[in-house]
Structure 1
Amino acid sequence: GTGSNILSALQDLFWLLKSKVEKQLQIISVLQWVLTFLIMGIACTLILMYILCTDCWAIAVLYLAWLVFDWNTPKKGGRRSQWVRNWAIWRYFRDYFPIRLVKTHNLLTTRNYIFGYHPHGIMGLGAFCNFSTEATGVGQKFPGIRPYLATLAGNFRMPILRDYLMSGGICPVNRDSIDYILSKNGSGNAIVIVVGGAAESLNCTPGKNSVTLRNRKGFVKLALRHGADLVPVYSFGENEVYKQVIFEEGSWGRWVQKKFQKHIGFAPCIFHGRGLFSSNTWGLLPYSKPITTVVGEPITIPKIDNPSQKDVDFYHSIYVDSLIKLFDKYKSKFGLPETEVLEVN
């Protein structure tokens, strides 16, 4: 009757409104992280300098005193917060793309691990969502394993940003930090290193599956020194969420990027995603493309205090082969043709 029709219409309206609200929350959650990635460090530094010049200067002085006292905390495992890692905003972040974490093998809590994450993409969105939040259930999939996503040490010199990053279990990608976690923090630690780094980000573009790995062997040497097992990780779709202007080798643009990479540690990219209000316009929001991160089989690594170059090369070759096998095994399941080949540079 009329009553049931009205009820049905109201239910349809409710679900429509709920869907729209959820989509807006997803956009807001992703936007806040993009802005965090791009400007939070600089913005917080400028705000702190401004406060020093106002009547509230004492607040800035107190924070700076705390900063000096707390300076080495990022190098000692940081200060993770399960509360922050479980924020609801990260679930909206996950659902925007969506992002998914796939487990292929169990990890022992009696071992430590170095995850090699590939590819970098523009912002490493899959790495952040999967390993610095609990949105995709990393703690449930790998019980007893504490993931630490490693990023540029310079980020931890930025006020406020450093504390925000540490709350998610993010640590500096330097030897002091990694040595501490793998030697003085017990077992069950998994350091996630985006091996290709800034160099790899310069070549990421939709439709391209390539990694910068041939001459990246430092992470293997660290694994050998600590007896930490290596785990290849490939994120299908990481390169699809932004479009980038790729400068040819030898061009002025690539020269500038390499200079930044050499002296500062990151390479500026000219990229774009979708607009804030429309997917048909350009903007800073990434495109809503699925990102599926597959955690491969751990490679058992012996502990060698002073590994030779031969040792490093041997286990590096095993790692490269394992990554290629992981890619080949899962590529067709996540939208790639069987003929797709992983390009290892």
Structure 2
Amino acid sequence: MKIDSATIKAAGNRCQELLVMAIYTSFFFTLPLNSYYAIILLLIFGSNLSRALLLVYWTIIYLRHKLNVAPIDGNGCMLMRDNAIGRIYRRYFPVQLIKTAELPPNKNYIIASFPHGILGTGICMNMAFDIGVWFKLFPQVRPKVATLDQHFFTPFLRHFIRWWGLISVSKESLMYYLNKSNDPQHPDNRDGFTSNAVAILVGGAQEALDSNPGEYILTLRKRKGFVKMAVRTGSAIVPSFSFGEVDIFQQVANPPNSKLRNFQIAVKKRTGIAPLIPLGRDIFHYPFGVVPYRRPITQVVGAPIEVVQSDEPDPAYVDELHGKVIKALEDMFEEYKAKYLKDPETKQLIIN
């Protein structure tokens, strides 16, 4: 039986994508724990000099972040944010980025992103790990992804996430990036970019607990902090929806009020992190493993919702804007689910 070269090349590409995904996912899942393990090992088994250097280093990064959120202006380390590995990672699923409206680079934006899924893969792929596609669609707009503040106090971990362009989701950090000047002549914009687009996974760890294939359950009804931040900084709110995000992982069953869910919620309240137990595929066998399933993710970026800047957001105005975000997400889901989801007639959007 003769196998043509195109078939061989396709099989080789799939093996390459699977290998990159396995390494990348394992690294990403274990990076926080490995950072803590490295700290513990240095403190227990290191020399007095290594302990002293670690404590000095830890103190410096803590104070830098506390004093000025240790910002990375511009687009940061492009070697980490636009490379061949990232493009292979993108092809594995594959991940797409869909533009539905212009984002003029004369203002800053909050990209209100849903759903969280297990890892927020779509938003991180498009706005952190492989940002070349973003640049083509939204020129002069810097993509930044906000994540938990405590990560930036953790030695080793903080450097990797900063290289990928991630920033803290703390109030101080968001104020810093969203109040940046949009003047092309401003010294901060010498790189040719005049706008910051900060992606916030609004549903956070709570939404991740509800992530299961085919189920689009958003945590949004009581989440209004991002709207208040938009008003304080005058940043437009851009609804964004990643179709397929919930399909790349299953997780161990954790229905509401189950022992596992109650444990996860208790840990989340104390640490901000939900201890999820994801179930994906293995390199060799599909039923088990932590490698995500090869299923497409399509991030649709909606039209910006303009806001009127105010240092003291009026609650009624916040509610009005919040309602517009919910309406935009509902319309987006209904408009695009037939195009980007299988069996769209069975898919419903639930907003808690």
Structure 2 length as normaliser, TM-score? 0.88
Of 213, 225, 234 in structure 2, the residue corresponding to residue 218 of structure 1 is: 225
Q: Secondary structure at the match of 1:285?
A: coil
- 2:95 touches 2:298 (CA, 8 Å); kept in 1? yes
Which letter does structure 1 place at the counterpart of 2:22? L
- 1:76 touches 1:180 (CA, 8 Å); kept in 2? no
Q: Judging changes above 3 Å, is the alpha-carbon distance between structure 1 residues 242 and 305 closer, same or farther for their aligned structure 2 residues?
A: same
Q: Secondary structure at the match of 1:19?
A: helix
Q: Judging changes above 3 Å, is the alpha-carbon distance between structure 1 residues 137 and 121 closer, same or farther for their aligned structure 2 residues?
A: same
Which letter does structure 2 place at the counterpart of 1:273? G
Which letter does structure 2 place at the counterpart of 1:131? M
Residue 248 of structure 1 and its aligned partner are, at CA, apart by 2.8
Sequence identity, in percent? 34
Of 287, 308, 312 in structure 2, the residue corresponding to residue 306 of structure 1 is: 312
Aligned partner of 1:203 in structure 2 is 210
Residue 227 of structure 1 and its aligned partner are, at CA, apart by 0.6
Which letter does structure 2 place at the counterpart of 1:324? E
Aligned partner of 2:89 in structure 1 is 93
| Deviation readout 1:322-342 (Å, 9 max, x if unpaired) | 111111111111125256431
Please, what is the CA RMSD of the aligned residues?
2.4
Aligned partner of 1:159 in structure 2 is 155
- 1:29 touches 1:90 (CA, 8 Å); kept in 2? no
Count of aligned pairs: 335
- 1:132 touches 1:149 (CA, 8 Å); kept in 2? yes
Residue 222 of structure 1 and its aligned partner are, at CA, apart by 0.4
In the alignment, the residues of structure 2 paired with residue 55 and residue 198 of structure 1 have an alpha-carbon distance, to the nearest angstrom, of 35
Structure 1 regions of 5+ residues with no counterpart? 1-8
Residue 90 of structure 1 and its aligned partner are, at CA, apart by 0.7
Alignment of 1:182-193 (within 5 A): 182-184=178-180, 186=182, 187-193=194-200
Of 113, 116, 119 in structure 2, the residue corresponding to residue 123 of structure 1 is: 119
Alignment of 1:27-46 (within 5 A): 27-46=18-37
Structure 2 regions of 5+ residues with no counterpart? 183-193
Aligned partner of 2:190 in structure 1 is none
Aligned partner of 1:244 in structure 2 is 251
- 1:223 touches 1:230 (CA, 8 Å); kept in 2? yes
In the alignment, the residues of structure 1 paired with residue 248 and residue 224 of structure 2 have an alpha-carbon distance, to the nearest angstrom, of 28
Residue 133 of structure 1 and its aligned partner are, at CA, apart by 2.3
Q: Secondary structure at the match of 1:177?
A: helix
- 1:265 aligned to 2:272? yes
Of 201, 210, 215 in structure 2, the residue corresponding to residue 194 of structure 1 is: 201
Which letter does structure 2 place at the counterpart of 1:29? V
Q: Secondary structure at the match of 2:330?
A: helix
- 1:129 touches 1:136 (CA, 8 Å); kept in 2? no
Of 300, 324, 340 in structure 2, the residue corresponding to residue 318 of structure 1 is: 324
- 1:138 aligned to 2:129? no
Moved more, 171-180 or 239-248: 239-248
Of 138, 146, 149 in structure 2, the residue corresponding to residue 150 of structure 1 is: 146
- 2:215 touches 2:348 (CA, 8 Å); kept in 1? no
Which letter does structure 2 place at the counterpart of 1:289? R
- 1:147 touches 1:190 (CA, 8 Å); kept in 2? yes
| Deviation readout 1:24-72 (Å, 9 max, x if unpaired) | 3322322233223322122133224434566776566546544433443
Q: Judging changes above 3 Å, is the alpha-carbon distance between structure 1 residues 185 and 257 closer, same or farther for their aligned structure 2 residues?
A: farther
In the alignment, the residues of structure 1 paired with residue 79 and residue 50 of structure 2 have an alpha-carbon distance, to the nearest angstrom, of 26
Residue 295 of structure 1 and its aligned partner are, at CA, apart by 0.3
Q: Secondary structure at the match of 2:129?
A: coil
- 1:214 touches 1:344 (CA, 8 Å); kept in 2? yes
Aligned partner of 2:239 in structure 1 is 232
| Deviation readout 1:251-282 (Å, 9 max, x if unpaired) | 22221111111111021123200012232x30
